[in-house]
Copies of this chain bind each other. A is one copy, B any other.
Amino acid sequence: MKGHPIYVMGRFLEDFAVGQIFRSGPVRIDKEQIKAFGAEFDPQPFHLDEEAARDTIFGGLAASGWHTAAVTMRLLVESDLKPAGGIVGAGADEFRWPRPVRPGDELRTESEVLEVRPSRSRPDQGLIKVRTTTLNQHDEAVQIIVANLMVPRRQQGEKIALGSAPKPGIC
């Protein structure tokens, strides 16, 4: 179990399969959170103040896309995806915000495994490609990201401790 003692309870490359779906519970985004994130990282009127936001392209207060992305990450960490070694992204093949997040929206995630493959350069590692859709309370997509995550391969003696890996499409 050397190399990743923290997440030894998580899934290894061999536990992932194309078609698996992992979901997170919802979290509510309120206007104070939108403004606090905006003030720290994206200080533009449409993320800071209802009145000033009215005359912008958003027509009202909206969360920074990076706030949506950060909340999505939190939901992913709390979801049942749990790769051994943690959720470590190398980057994204696709990344879109189809609509803004508004105060009071409740966000949840659905992540589908699109690809599972061993690393060419590192025999102890592999990559999974995962499409994570962040949905609001109306089941509208507010963010779609197709990310490549690094996942360790199982070494001798390691066991999955989360129960069985979910079957494609049913978890």
Give residues in A with beta carbon < 8 Å to B.
3-7, 37, 40-46, 52, 55-58, 64-67, 69-71, 73-74, 77, 85-92, 94-97, 150, 152
Determine whether the beta carbon of B6 is less than 8 Å from that of A74. Answer: no
Are A41 and B57 also in contact (CB < 8 A) when A6-B52, A90-B96 are?
no
Complex Cα gap A58–B56 (Å): 41
Choice from B57, B89, B97 contacting A4 with Cβ under 8 Å: B57
Quickly give the copy total for this chain: 2
The distance in angstroms between the C-alpha atoms of A70 and B66, with both chains bound, is 6
**Interfacial chain B residues near A7, Cβ < 8 Å:** 45
Chain B residues closer than 8 Å to A43, beta-carbon distance: 74, 77
16 cross-chain CB contacts under 8 A: A6-B45, A37-B70, A41-B70, A41-B73, A41-B74, A42-B74, A44-B87, A45-B86, A57-B150, A57-B152, A65-B89, A66-B66, A66-B73, A89-B97, A92-B95, A95-B95
* CA A80 to CA B5, docked complex, whole Å: 45
Q: When the two chains form their complex, are residues A73 and B77 in contact, meaning their CB atoms are under 8 A apart?
A: no
Residues of chain B contacted by A70 (CB below 8 angstroms): 37, 40-42, 64, 66-67, 70
Establish whether residues B96 and A40, one from each chain, have CB atoms under 8 Å apart when the complex forms. Answer: no
| Candidates B64, B85, B96; contact of A57 at CB < 8 Å | B85
